[in-house]
Amino acid sequence: MNKHFFDTDIAWCPGCGNFPILRTLDKAIAAAGVDRRKLVLVSGIGQAAKLPHYTQANVFNGLHGRALPAAVGIKLANQELEVVITSGDGDMYGEGGNHFLHNLRRNVGVKAFVHNNQVYGLTKGQASPTSDLGFVTKVQTHGVVSPPFNPLAIAIAEDCSFVARSFAGDPKHLQEMMVAALQHKGGFTLLDILQPCPTFNKVNTYQWYRERVKPIPDTHDAYDRAKALELAFHWGDEIPIGILYLSKRPSFEEQQVVLSKGTLVGQYAGR
Amino acid sequence: MNLQLRIAGAAGQGVETTGDLLVDAFAGIGLHVFATQTYMSRVRGGLNWFDVRIGDGELFSGRRRADLLVCLSKEGLEWLRGEMADPGVILFNGAAGEGVTGIEFEQIAKDLGGSAIMANTVAAGAVLAALGYEVGKLEELLRDRFARKGEEVVVANIACVRKGAELGTAAAGKLKAPQPAGAPSGICSGNEAVGLAAATAGVKFVTSYPMTPSTGVFTFVAGVADEYGILVEQAEDEIAAINMVCGAAYAGVPAMTTTSGGGFALMVEGLALAGMLELPAFIFLGQRPGPATGLPTRTAQQDLQFAIHAGHGEFAKAILAPGTPQQCYDLTRHGLELAHKYQTPVILMSDQFLADMRKNCTGLDTSYRPINRYVIEDAGESYLRYAVTDSGVSPRALPGGEAFVVLDSDEHTEDGHITEDLEARVRLQNKRLRKLDGMKAEALAPAWHGPPEADHVLVCWGSTYGSCREAVDRLNATGRPTAMLQFAQVWPLDAGAIRPRLGTRRVTCVEGNATGQFASVLREVGALSDCEMILKYDGLPFTGEEIAERVTS
């Protein structure tokens, strides 16, 4: 941890949904048995992207929108590292949208925990790709007119290895999802976390989400793509949380001849 | 003694195949070869040509006028017959005419081989015979090349060569061909040399978005990836490529991306990231004429200033610019070493001319000899990734060991965590920039060629090396004492070491751009006050004779 005066206080607002996400992540790392020495937290830019600085792990805090390609580079160089991305909706679905699309296809075994607060926090309150229609900001003065990006439906359409949603206001459920994600063996793992932003999003509040989130029943077969896709389109009065979709598709790493011989960093065999 | 041969035709007609076959055949009999390509940005049609210069001494550039022209298409004849030397020989895929020997390459191929594809073998046979060379070596090459495809294919190809030779003899005796001179039989191109050097130096991860003229390096590495243990991945865009390279470099493998101007422009933010995170990112930048899409398949040296200044903020980087395939090999390895020693990005600048340049090569080392990554393995709990040191280089540990390795693109303290402590900012920025002192001190000295006392010196960088060298030799042979100074490292520069080399001499900067970019760089660092310039930016490379003419005119 950083011990310098300027950095002793965390840069999040009181009541920020990032706090429970950080606390829950720490618990989930322990519960999933992840060795922090082998853990790399990768982030881009934004308030969520600061999370790696507030815990104990290896950290690659890169550029806005580019956490995903950096994480993929790390994972491919050394598959023995647990690579977890902690970034926001702007970072992952906006600036990094092209990387998101193509890494769903690529299916490298990195874990993306997306703090989705449906608003841009660090730049002070503009719309994000997941803002609801009609959401008014200082830029979208007449309200958002482009329908929200649906990351879960797109992920399922692209046969993503693991697709789940949770809510920062339900730490028990969130921890369960984080542990499942961390323990998932396979390709790209997406956990979209609904995160209230008390400063800039006065619509999608703790209360708003709490009234709507509904755990997916145990009877849901996560390998059923059509059912999963149907769940992914639920938004509004009822928002399903839980594991929507699992795929048996082989990961990118499993299909690389060179990686079957060990990690690239191990094969370097030089100083 | 040398001759310039030109094979021209539409894209898809086998111009490159014919050229490659001839290059290998000439080198196989011990001739010096210098080959290059001129092609249009299309998959079919248009007019492409492949130039092969052969000689009894080492060759460093091509010539504008061809002594022998092989035209596979009518357009080739129309456009290029005006670019012939006197006397010249033209072999045309059609009817004979005034000064034209007609050989129906495609019809013969269909008759003897059952396919128009073998027109290139007919043409190669005709060229050898027109120059008075035996076709034995060519037949041997074809046997090796097509052995896998079965005896029938081999026999058909050899029949095509012999028929071509029989008809080519009609044009024999007009040109005096150079005698074999024991030149190395191996041939390699600039792009192949970069790829081979990267593979043997221990690059384990290569990711790129294809873009002419850099793609040849990417495909070469993909071709040897299984042999050397390299992961090759086509990126969704250049932004992904450079960020993946940064990730892989952080995790400890030498990593590289290949691109050209427009793609490099997209990478620039990632380049600054490598500077800030202090990662050894290696970028192959194959230039072509811009701005924007420009002339996608032609050559230029237009991105030097852009590369030097690429990236927001200030950080250390090195830029190398080889002039021959051999230099491509040596400097790729050196550049990777440099990137790791100083933990900062290094760019290797080539261009279409050098990418496609083929020359005899004396056995490039294909053995795996990984470079030193300069990593430490004993980092403990108190490890600081960005420990402030005199050299500016901090001990580099890899993630996964005892120490947490923390990197941040925000300004950070020595432990890598985000900070807005402005004193720390200055301390860390000074540390990062101090690396430039070491890089300047070990900058590759520019190479001198020509008489030491010459009072006129041509300054060049990158692919202009060979043409300049030939120009210098021509000028000295005609009694004009001239030398040249080639910069294989163009950034950072040690001005103190350059000034005495130029002294009070007359200086002419020879560059493939419209503004004299390297001359500006030399002035900027205080290595040069005034100079003349010979510039070219029509998309074609300089020839030695052209530079010599412009010096004397």
For residue B177, is it within any domain?
no
- A8 band by pLDDT with thresholds 50, 70 and 90: low
User: B222 and B300, same structural domain?
Assistant: yes
pLDDT confidence band for B90 (50 / 70 / 90): very high
Q: Are residues B107 and B152 in the same domain?
A: yes
From the list A37, A98, A257, the residue facing B401 with the nearest CB is: A37
What's the alpha-carbon Rg for chain B, to the nearest Å? Answer: 25
Summarize the confidence of residues A12-28 as an average pLDDT. Answer: 96
Q: What's the rounded Cα separation, in Å, for the pair B456 and B521? A: 20
Residue with the two structure tokens 């005419």: B97
Among the partner-chain residues A45, A61, A258, the one whose CB lies closest to the CB of B231 is A258
Say if the Cβ atoms of B370 and A269 lie within 8 Å: yes
Q: How many CB atoms lie within 10 A of CB B176?
A: 12
- Write out chain A residues lying below 8 Å of B405, CB-based: 58-59
What is the C-alpha to C-alpha distance for residues B277 and B243, in angstroms, rounded to an integer?
Answer: 12
pLDDT the model gives residue B492: 98
Helices (H), chain A: 18-31, 67-77, 89, 97-106, 151-157, 171-183, 206-212, 225-232, 264-267
Beta partners for residue B94, in sequence order: none
Same domain flag for B106 and B132: yes
Nearest-Cα distance to chain B for A211, in Å, is 37
Does pLDDT of A194 surpass 60? yes
Q: Which two tokens stand for residue B39?
A: 């092609």
Which residue of A38, A80, A270 is in closest CB contact with B371? A270
pTM of the model: 0.96
Which of A45, A60, A106 is closest, CB to CB, to B407?
Answer: A60
Residues B433 and B490 both lie in one domain: no
The C-alpha atoms of residue A72 and residue A88 are separated, in whole angstroms, by: 17
Instruction: Confirm or reject contact between B545 and chain A (CB < 8 A).
Output: no
Same domain (yes/no): B352, B216? yes
* Mean pLDDT score of chain B: 96
Put simply, whether A99 touches B (Cβ < 8 Å) is yes
Which positions in chain A touch B398 (Cβ < 8 Å)?
265
Q: Are residues B153 and B64 in the same domain?
A: yes
Q: What average pLDDT does range B31-43 have in this prediction?
A: 89
Q: Stretch B169-187: mean pLDDT, rounded?
A: 95
Share of chain B above pLDDT 70, in %: 100
Q: Is B233 helix (H, G, I), strand (E, B) or coil?
A: strand
Is B182 part of any domain?
no
B214 lies in the same domain as B296: yes
The mean per-residue pLDDT over the stretch A16-33 comes to 97
Which is it for the CA torsion B233, B236, B237, B239, positive or negative? negative
**Structural domain for B72, as ranges:** 2-171
Specify the CATH class of A12-267 in words.
alpha beta
Residue B384 neighbours by CB under 8 Å, 6+ apart: B394, B414, B415, B416
Judge whether A265 is closer than 8 Å to chain B, CB to CB.
yes
| Alpha-carbon gap: A262 to the closest alpha carbon of chain B (Å) | 10
**Local structure of B330: helix, strand or coil:** helix
Per-residue model confidence as pLDDT tens digits over B314-328: 999 999 999 999 999
- Tell how far CA B232 is from the center of its chain: 21
For residue A253, the number of C-alpha atoms closer than 13 Å in the C-beta half-sphere is 24
State the number of CA atoms in the 13 A half-sphere of B191 facing the CB.
26
B247 in contact with A at a CB cutoff of 8 Å? yes
A255 contacts chain B (CB < 8 A): no
Nearest partner of B329 among B219, B466, B188, B193, judged by Cα: B193
Residue B45 lies in a domain: yes
> Per the structure block, which two tokens stand in for A93?
């679905």
Residue B446 is classified by DSSP as P
At B393-438, the pLDDT tens digits run: 999 999 999 999 999 999 999 999 999 999 999 999 999 999 999 9
CB contact under 8 A, A256 and B231: yes
pLDDT at B357 over 90: yes
Contact assignment for A77 to B248 by CB distance below 8 Å: yes
Q: Which of A3, A37, A41, A74 to mutate to test the interface with B (most CBs of B within 10 A)?
A: A74
Is there a single domain that holds both residue B207 and residue B349? yes
Q: B311: helix, coil or strand?
A: coil
Task: Reply yes or no: is the peptide bond before residue B184 cis, omega within 30 of 0.
Answer: no
Say how far apart CA A2 and CA B414 lie, in whole Å: 10
Based on the domain organization, do B157 and B12 belong to the same domain? Answer: yes
Regarding whether B83 and B41 lie in a shared domain, the answer is yes
Q: How confident is the model at residue B43 (pLDDT cuts 50, 70, 90)?
A: confident
Pick from B504, B503, B461, B466: nearest CA to B485? B461
Query: Mutate which of B206, B398, B407 to test chain A, going by most A C-beta atoms within 10 A?
Result: B407
Domain chopping of chain A, boundaries? 12-267
Average pLDDT for chain A? 95
Strand partners, B285: B259, B349
Position A6 confidence tier, pLDDT thresholds 50, 70, 90: very low
- B410/A contact by beta carbon, under 8 A: yes
Using an 8 Å Cβ cutoff, are B272 and B313 in contact? Answer: yes
Indicate the number of domains in chain B: 4
ipTM higher than 0.90? yes
**DSSP, residue by residue, B3-27:** EEEEEEEEETSSHHHHHHHHHHHHH
CB of A271 within 8 Å of a chain B CB? The answer is yes
What are the helix and strand counts (H, E) for chain B?
Answer: 18, 21
From the candidates B242, B243, B384, which should be mutated to test the interface with A, based on the most A CB atoms within 10 A?
A: B243
End residue of a domain, out of B442, B468, B498: B442
What's the mean pLDDT in B259-272? 98
Regarding whether B313 and B300 lie in a shared domain, the answer is yes
Closest chain A C-alpha to B296 CA, distance in angstroms: 25
B-chain CB neighbours of A4 within 8 Å are: 413, 417, 419, 421, 424
> Does the distance separating the beta carbons of A268 and B373 come in below 8 Å?
yes
CATH number of the domain residue B167 falls in: 3.40.920.10
Average pLDDT over residues B326-355: 98
For residue A4, name the pLDDT band (cuts at 50, 70, 90). Answer: very low
Please choose, from the candidates A94, A43, A254, the residue with its C-alpha nearest in 3D space to the C-alpha of residue A161: A254
User: Quick one: pLDDT band at residue A271, thresholds 50, 70, 90?
Assistant: confident
Mean pLDDT of the B442-460 span: 97
Cis peptide before B325 (omega within 30 of 0): no
Give the list of residues 6+ apart from residue B528 with CB closer than 8 angstroms, or none.
B459, B498, B502, B507, B519, B522
Q: Do A69 and B243 touch (CB under 8 A)?
A: yes
Angle ∠(B258,B261,B267) on CA atoms, nearest 5: 65
B370 in a structural domain: no
Average pLDDT of the residues in A226-247: 97
Shortest CA gap B320–chain A (Å): 24
What Rg value do the Cα atoms of chain A yield, rounded? 18
Looking at CA atoms only, how far is residue A103 from chain B in angstroms? Answer: 9
Q: Specify whether B269 is located in the same domain as B327.
A: yes
